[in-house]
């Protein structure tokens, strides 16, 4: 049989354009896909992989994990990668701490690949009251840790050193599931940086440039944190000594430092707090990106405290010392800049302010005059269990208003409105105008309202961005 041509990585790398030919590698084989590029259902994106490996790109687009895709690829095989280069690819993979991250849904808008941060397209977000897990926004600071559920332990300590006689509790996943009653809560998570891109337009801020979809809603099931703390030896007499519950993730940076955060002990112990050690999301095991096998769900509280891949819980006198509790996720005056900021002076964000945004139509959309009307859709939510009671919508930049219809769901119990409300309004197109500025603003049951503009709430980290949301569209005559 004719011997198979062997190519080095250098030779493959030379073929990265339509002029020089487009070569890629996949599982140690080399393919000349020049002819296929114009036929590719996914368009030009295919050129991103030119001269290199397909695996990292296919890992992003799940559509390729199908038999017929491999069949197409096999038609273009021209040879094999040299053994030494193959080995380099393997070691490169194992050196990359992100190589074991899960495959993600291709619809997600990726803000950062390593670590993985992504939000769903806004139009998809408001299609479902319960956000499907695959498109639920993902906010990772570090590589996704590989946790073996069979050897997983959750360590719980109550005031170590202060409470003699209390031994730390260590629970297997099975014990967490069987020793404690299972509770289910529907709760919205929102990143403190949601809508940061609007702040960035006022003046540059530091952080991922989130659009309006760093927020999602899911059903979470697990044990109540309170039940676990009581099992670990927490007693009401300790209330003067203990103030906070710290959480440690199992995801670590190169120095071994883990992600961490804390919440007030009151929230954890309150019967109405609904803080869960969740092992299920939307009725299934937690997905890897969302904290498998166990995460904390702290309803009404900023995303950052909902620690994923939970390894350790500590009831303590102090807040978590982690970077993310002490030197990040805090709000400041527009007057504070990076030269003057003192993170010790501001409290860590816990409950979030009232929020809403328009998911449809999209910025820049063309509306057809003949349709006579426009359908506006969006979400609204407030922190701390406060319920959104009204959403106002304007088609003229805020001069006149209409009240949107809130999706009727189950009426939440007072102080426990953890889930967002989707809303919509169909309004007739105002005659004569070719440009509409659609605006929304929400009101919660404490009558908290959103500020009308971004500039007065601008802050150097771009957090707590909750001004009226504005979308400009044109009407085609
Ligand atoms: C879709 C083949 C490389 C991005 C597809 C589909 C095929 C295909 C058959 C349609 C799948 C289906 O719907 O059943 C290939 C082959 C490739 C290649 C043979 C390499 C030789 C890439 C690369 C990227 C990419 C490198 C990205 C960097 C996409 C996207 C879609 C797609 C985004 C979805 C398009 C849509 O449904 O809108 N590809 N692909 N592909 N591909 Fe590729
Ligand atoms: N927990 C761990 N262990 N590591 C993290 O990077 N990110 C936090 C929080 N919990 C994070 C974490 C932040 S900032 C947010 S907004 C939420 O997780 C996002 O949760 P999600 O990815 O499930 O949407
Ligand atoms: Mo976040």
pLDDT in tens, 284-311: 999 999 999 999 999 999 999 999 999 9
Q: How far is the CA of 250 from the centre of ligand 3 (A)?
A: 17
Mean pLDDT throughout 337-362?
97
Q: How far is the CA of 293 from the centre of ligand 3 (A)?
A: 20
Nearest residue to 218 (alpha-carbon basis) of 34, 419, 369: 419
Q: Is the CB of 292 under 6 A from ligand 2?
A: no
Whether 443 has a pLDDT exceeding 70, the answer reads: yes
Mean pLDDT throughout 429-434?
92
Query: 77-130 pLDDT, tens per residue?
Result: 999 999 999 988 776 666 688 989 999 998 899 999 999 999 999 989 999 999
Whether 61 has a pLDDT exceeding 80, the answer reads: no
Active-site position among 329, 386, 440, 469: 329
Pocket of ligand 1 (CB under 6 A): 24, 33, 36, 40-42, 45-46, 48-49, 54, 57, 61, 63-64, 66, 69, 72-73, 106
3.40.50.300, 3.90.420.10, 3.50.50.60, 1.10.8.80: CATH of 153-345: 3.90.420.10
Name the residue ranges covered by the structural domains of the chain. Answer: 6-95, 153-345, 355-476
Confidence of residue 66 (pLDDT cuts 50, 70, 90): confident
Q: Is 300 exposed, middle or buried (0-12, 13-18, 19+ CB in 10 A)?
A: buried
Q: What is the pLDDT of residue 93?
A: 63
Known catalytic residue: 329?
A: yes
Backbone CA torsion sign across 399, 390, 190, 272: positive
Opening angle at CA 156, ends 152 and 161, nearest 5: 135
Residue whose entry in the numeric block shows the structure tokens 């994923």: 308
Q: How far is the CA of 96 from the centre of ligand 1 (A)?
A: 24
Known catalytic residue: 40?
A: yes
Confidence of residue 3 (pLDDT cuts 50, 70, 90): confident
Q: How far is the CA of 210 from the centre of ligand 2 (A)?
A: 14
Superfamily of domain 6-95, CATH level 4 = Cytochrome b5-like heme/steroid binding domain (3.10.120.10)
Known catalytic residue: 321?
A: no
Confidence of residue 60 (pLDDT cuts 50, 70, 90): low
Nearest residue to 468 (alpha-carbon basis) of 192, 191, 195, 109: 195
Q: Ligand nearest 308 Cα, by number?
A: 2
Instruction: Quote the CA–CA distance of 388 and 420 in Å, as a whole number.
Output: 8
Nearest CA to ligand 1 atom 19: 73
Q: What is the pLDDT of residue 459?
A: 98
Confidence of residue 255 (pLDDT cuts 50, 70, 90): confident
The secondary structure element, H or E, covering residue 384 is none
Task: Go through 434-457 and write b for each residue having 16 or more CB atoms within 10 A of its CB, e for each that does not.
Answer: eebebbbbbbbbeebbbeeebeeb
Instruction: Quote the CA–CA distance of 287 and 135 in Å, as a whole number.
Output: 11
Q: What is the pLDDT of residue 40?
A: 93
Nearest CA to ligand 2 atom 17: 303
Q: How far is the CA of 208 from the centre of ligand 3 (A)?
A: 10
Tokens of 237: 């007499």
Active-site position among 105, 139, 196, 295: 139
Q: DSSP string of 210-251?
A: --S-SEEEEEEEEEEHHHHHHHTT--GGGGGT--EEEEEEEE
Mean pLDDT throughout 35-62?
85
Backbone CA torsion sign across 295, 277, 322, 206: positive
Mean pLDDT throughout 373-393?
98
Backbone CA torsion sign across 117, 123, 124, 129: positive
Instruction: Quote the CA–CA distance of 469 and 466 in Å, as a whole number.
Output: 8
- Range among 75-89, 150-164, 445-459 rated most confident: 445-459
Whether 22 has a pLDDT exceeding 90, the answer reads: yes
Confidence of residue 477 (pLDDT cuts 50, 70, 90): confident
Confidence of residue 240 (pLDDT cuts 50, 70, 90): confident
Q: What is the pLDDT of residue 89?
A: 76
pLDDT, averaged across the chain = 94
Q: Are 431 and 386 in contact (CB under 8 A)?
A: no
> Which of 140, 207, 252, 328 should be mutated for ligand 2, with most atoms under 8 A from CB?
140
Instruction: Quote the CA–CA distance of 265 and 247 in Å, as a whole number.
Output: 12
Known catalytic residue: 139?
A: yes
Measured distance between the N- and C-terminal CA atoms of the chain, rounded to whole angstroms? 68
The residues whose Cβ lies within 5 A of ligand 3, an ion, are 139, 191, 303-304
Q: DSSP string of 69-137?
A: HHHHHHTTEEEEE-HHHHHHHHHHHHH-TTTTPPP--TTSEEEETTTTEEE--HHHHTT-SSPPGGGS-
Task: Say what percent of the chain tops pLDDT 70.
Answer: 98
Q: How far is the CA of 124 from the centre of ligand 1 (A)?
A: 21
Architecture, CATH, for domain 355-476: Sandwich (2.60)
Whether 62 has a pLDDT exceeding 80, the answer reads: no
CA of residue 415 relative to chain centroid, distance:
25
Count the neighbouring beta carbons within 10 Å of the beta carbon of residue 428: 10
């Amino acid at each position: 049989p004719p011997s198979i041509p062997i190519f080095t990585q250098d030779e493959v790398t030379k073929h990265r354009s339509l002029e020089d030919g487009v070569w890629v590698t996949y599982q140690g084989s080399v393919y000349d896909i020049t002819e296929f590029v114009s036929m590719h259902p996914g368009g030009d994106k295919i050129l991103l992989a030119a001269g290199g490996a397909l695996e990292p790109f296919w890992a992003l687009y799940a559509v390729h994990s199908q038999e017929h895709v491999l069949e197409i690829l096999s038609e273009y095989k021209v040879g094999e990668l040299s053994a030494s280069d193959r080995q380099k690819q393997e070691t490169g993979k194992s050196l990359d701490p992100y190589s074991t991250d899960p495959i993600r849904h291709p619809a997600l808008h990726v803000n950062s690949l390593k670590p993985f941060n992504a939000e769903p397209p806004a139009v998809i977000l408001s299609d479902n009251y319960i956000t499907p897990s695959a498109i639920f926004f993902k906010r990772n600071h570090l590589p996704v840790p590989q946790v073996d559920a069979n050897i997983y332990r959750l360590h719980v300590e109550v005031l170590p050193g202060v409470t003699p006689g209390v031994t730390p509790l260590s629970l297997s996943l099975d014990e967490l599931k069987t020793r404690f009653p299972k509770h289910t809560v529907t709760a919205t998570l929102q990143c403190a940086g949601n809508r940061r891109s609007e702040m960035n337009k006022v003046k540059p801020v530091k952080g991922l440039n989130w659009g309006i979809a760093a927020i999602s809603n899911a059903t979470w099931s697990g044990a109540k944190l309170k039940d676990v703390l009581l099992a670990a030896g927490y007693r009401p007499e300790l209330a003067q000594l203990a103030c906070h519950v710290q959480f440690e993730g199992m995801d670590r940076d190169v120095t071994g430092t883990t992600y961490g955060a804390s919440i007030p002990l009151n929230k954890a112990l309150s019967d109405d707090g609904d803080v869960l050690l969740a092992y299920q999301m939307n009725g299934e095991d937690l997905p890897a990106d969302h904290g498998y096998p166990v995460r904390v769900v702290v309803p009404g509280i900023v995303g950052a405290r909902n620690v994923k891949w939970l390894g350790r819980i500590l009831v303590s006198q102090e807040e978590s010392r982690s970077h993310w509790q002490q030197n990040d996720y805090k709000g400041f005056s527009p007057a504070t800049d990076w030269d003057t900021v003192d993170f010790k002076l501001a409290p860590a964000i816990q409950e979030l302010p009232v929020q809403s945004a328009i998911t449809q139509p999209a910025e820049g959309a063309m509306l057809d005059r003949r349709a006579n009307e426009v359908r506006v859709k969006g979400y609204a939510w407030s922190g701390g269990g406060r319920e959104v009671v009204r959403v106002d919508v304007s088609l003229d930049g805020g001069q006149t208003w209409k009240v949107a219809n809130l999706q009727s769901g189950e009426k939440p119990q007072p102080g426990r409105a953890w889930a967002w409300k989707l809303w919509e309004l169909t309004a007739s197109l105002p005659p004569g105008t070719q440009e509409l500025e659609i605006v929304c603003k929400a009101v919660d049951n404490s009558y908290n309202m959103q500020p009308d503009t971004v500039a007065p709430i601008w802050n150097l980290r771009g957090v707590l961005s909750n001004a009226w949301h504005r979308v400009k569209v044109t009407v085609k005559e």
